[in-house]
């Protein structure tokens, strides 16, 4: 048996986005809870640290979001921001007005995965009958439904990625 052995199913694994220059870091951070609210994810910031040095501010912020889709499937999205040498700058926008932005280097590490059998209704130990039933369930009974959940998570994760990239431009 094949794909039904994969748990969790990674949609994006350690996708790295880098940018050096002008960015809207506060806007990027604000996107996470907005996205979570829009798509009904439980969301919290696992880690946040800031240090100010001679070249600017160093920020590390890790976010965790999860949504229980069914009794069997839950979606997990993790976003890690690592910002170096960040300074506040005033930039002229296309309308001729001035906008506060940030200048620095940012790395965003993005993970999205679908956790199956998160309530442990079936055993995951190879060789047990309950594990065999889980594999049959995933391969034959719920195959199309699980695939549609993967597609749904990918669409949602791409929406968040596009919004994050927009804040980097």
12-62 pLDDT, tens per residue?
999 999 999 998 898 899 999 999 999 999 999 999 999 999 999 999 999
Are the CB atoms for 9 and 111 separated by under 8 Å? no
Report which of 107, 124, 106 is spatially closest to residue 115, judged by C-alpha positions: 124
Q: Convert the pLDDT of each residue in 122-143 to its tens digit.
A: 887 888 898 889 889 999 999 9
Number of domains into which the chain is organized: 1
Provide DSSP, 56-92. -EEEEEEEEEEEE-SSSEEEEEEEEEEEEEEEEEEEE
Domain residue limits at 135: 3-168
Look at residue 67 and tell me whether its pLDDT is greater than 90.
yes
pTM value is: 0.91
Cα–Cα dist 126/117, whole Å: 15
More confident residue, 39 or 98: 39
Cα–Cα dist 50/58, whole Å: 6
Give me 105's structure tokens.
């280097």
CA distance to 68, 93, 140, per residue, from 143 (Å): 18, 49, 6
Q: What is the pLDDT of residue 32?
A: 96
DSSP 8-state secondary structure symbol assigned to residue 137: I
Round to the nearest angstrom and report the end-to-end CA distance of the chain: 44
């Amino acid at each position: 048996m094949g794909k039904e052995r994969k748990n969790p199913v990674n949609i994006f694994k350690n996708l790295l986005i880098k940018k050096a220059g002008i960015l809207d870091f506060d806007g990027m951070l604000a996107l996470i809870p907005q996205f979570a609210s829009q798509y009904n994810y439980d969301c919290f910031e696992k880690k946040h640290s800031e240090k100010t040095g001679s070249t600017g501010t160093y920020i590390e912020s890790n976010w965790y979001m999860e949504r229980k889709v069914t009794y069997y499937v839950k979606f997990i999205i993790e976003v890690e921001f690592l910002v170096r040498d960040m300074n506040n700058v005033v930039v002229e926008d296309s309308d001729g007005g001035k906008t506060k932005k940030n200048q620095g280097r940012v790395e965003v590490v993005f993970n999205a995965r679908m956790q199956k059998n998160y309530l442990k209704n079936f055993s995951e130990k190879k060789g047990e009958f309950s594990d065999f039933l889980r594999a049959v369930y995933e391969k034959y009974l719920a195959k199309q439904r699980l695939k549609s959940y993967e597609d749904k998570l990918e669409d949602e994760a791409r929406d968040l990625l596009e919004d994050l990239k927009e804040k980097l431009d």
